[in-house]
Structure 1
């Protein structure tokens, strides 16, 4: 593996960063936070058609670009840096991955091209009211090709055109494809701490569904990929919070000199830099492990998610503290990163959850 980016990967990062700087500045993020959908459809179409970002990690035979998870993590890091509001994670990461892991060639050929082009916004519905992220809970059952029950905390569930839902049957947990406009399916947007990421509750009342296949193995593999993908996004957010704090330290003066020249603030920023760079190493290694389909993915996924969660939250909190009074105001962007950090810390399992999983996976 390589810890340095290839020229092509560096150009991808630069292109995505330029695009998001223009299309997803904090002013646009704040506007989209107030809308029902929570994202700008025109920007999503540009991101999909002009840059082809949803297609990156999807194989060419299914309409994708045929790149790897390494490139997808670069994109996710840049999206985390700007708090991009859009269904990329739900559609291009969760839904696309569970389809690829399902082993159902018919389902892949039918649904992945639309996801790759951005024309189909998809999501994965697997959590119940307990708030657990293992996907082993109840809440949704299947019988005679129809789903009854609910799924909660579904990423972009109210925006999706395609819902991939896990449901219980007497034979076990299975994955189903559901048209979001099917009769009996109701999607309700949920109030969230992080207004830049939308969650929904889906109610199924005898909804017609297409069986894809057994879900347990595919879901477990997908959640490991999702944990690493979220760690990449958290890395981008942590770096942005650190950059924001350092920039402010250079321009804010106290006692006739920039506050960044004070040793106490230097130490705090140095500690954050160490944490951010350590997170970067974990994310790079994890993205390589997924790209190579390495056996250690489950271990690396939990390790990276736990560490990235703590790093992002620490960086976001310190950013507020280093800004002083202005950092606590609604007008400043620091609180947006703090809320994203806290919500992301809990999404797919908090650090304690992943450390427990990590201990079990390495036999401690």
Structure 2
């Protein structure tokens, strides 16, 4: 499988990164953290003007018609920038599921235009992100994925990540648009991609701090102990990226092994983000625990996303069941199947 990023994908990713770097800096995260709503209409409108809600929506409904592989690249950029708006849930998870279901052209057009937001509700999560501001909700009942309109009322919960708005799940009847497994796999994949972006952001912050913080008359980044910790985290991050891309391709192709590839991706991304969190806090020392250092925004996002859409134990159990149960043959003869 060729994991080379195409020129178009590289251009798109860099454009999104440059845009988010300019408008979604740590200063914005602090402003959102200090606000009551934790959301900004201006930020959302900027994302809409960039065309991001329509990434995976067919061109006939006003979208860009891109692929799930493109989606994971953009999801990583959302994680890198610490984007708080529910763009990933609506644009990168709900939109492709609704497009595949068919008959949702009007809603897809509304999503592409930024006029509709879809919350995702699944039994694997005891909460629903951004249900309070959603116009629609995708929920699961008896293994079936249902789409329903939503008025916006919901009971809010606390989150370890102050920029994530979580709500108590609701009872929502609706129209069948797919399977519960499809929602879980898509959402877990996008969460994994965001985790890698979060880890990359923490790596950049830790590296920069190591270059500027001096001890014993030289930057701490020159010490072998610091170098080795950062290098170990980098390996985990880089090894997670192709695993995520493989899962995206398998899921897009409808491969029977896609669920186990998604679980592998979520595991690899979770481990990379946790390793980078620990390394970043060690690199920063006691300063890393303070609110004055921006690192905590990404650390809390890593903790939150690690438990979202199946925690480590959940996805490890899925892999174990596939391998030990024979659904995913292993060994040299199956390495490149």
Fold shared per TM-score above 0.5: yes
Mapped pair 1:212 → 2:179? no
Question: Hey, which of these two has a bigger chunk of helix by percent?
Answer: 2
Q: 1:232 to 1:212 in 2, by over 3 A?
A: same
SS in structure 2 at match of 1:178: strand
Within 5 A, what are the aligned runs for 1:146-295?
A: 152-167=126-141, 172-181=142-151, 186-204=153-171, 209=173, 211-213=174-176, 215=178, 218-295=179-256
SS in structure 1 at match of 2:154: strand
SS in structure 1 at match of 2:210: helix
In structure 1, distance between residues paired with 2:61 and 2:84: 26
Match of 2:47 in 1: 47
Within 5 A, what are the aligned runs for 1:338-353?
A: 338-353=299-314
Shift of 1:203: 4.2
SS in structure 2 at match of 1:158: helix
In structure 2, distance between residues paired with 1:23 and 1:91: 20
Within 5 A, what are the aligned runs for 1:289-304?
A: 289-304=250-265
Contact 2:147/2:176 (CA < 8 Å) preserved in 1?
no
Mapped pair 1:14 → 2:14? yes
Match of 1:138 in 2: none
1:45-104 Cα offsets, whole Å, 9 max, x none, are 1211x2211111122344321110111111111110111110112211332244245x3x
In structure 2, distance between residues paired with 1:95 and 1:67: 14
CA RMSD of aligned residues (A): 2.0
Contact 1:37/1:159 (CA < 8 Å) preserved in 2?
no
Shift of 1:17: 0.8
SS in structure 2 at match of 1:313: helix
Give the TM-score, by structure 1 length: 0.84
Structure 1 segments unaligned to the other structure (5+ residues) = 134-151
In structure 1, distance between residues paired with 2:314 and 2:234: 25
Shift of 1:297: 1.4
Match of 1:96 in 2: 95
Match of 1:142 in 2: none
Contact 1:298/1:361 (CA < 8 Å) preserved in 2?
no
Match of 1:25 in 2: 25
Contact 2:98/2:177 (CA < 8 Å) preserved in 1?
no
Mapped pair 1:310 → 2:271? yes
In structure 2, distance between residues paired with 1:124 and 1:112: 16
Match of 1:137 in 2: none
In structure 1, distance between residues paired with 2:272 and 2:230: 12
Contact 1:80/1:236 (CA < 8 Å) preserved in 2?
yes
Question: Hey, which of these two has a bigger chunk of strand by percent?
Answer: 1
SS in structure 2 at match of 1:66: coil
In structure 1, distance between residues paired with 2:117 and 2:64: 17
In structure 1, distance between residues paired with 2:301 and 2:115: 27
Q: 1:4 to 1:336 in 2, by over 3 A?
A: same
In structure 1, distance between residues paired with 2:229 and 2:181: 38
How many residues align structurally? 325
SS in structure 2 at match of 1:362: helix
Match of 1:332 in 2: 293
SS in structure 2 at match of 1:248: helix
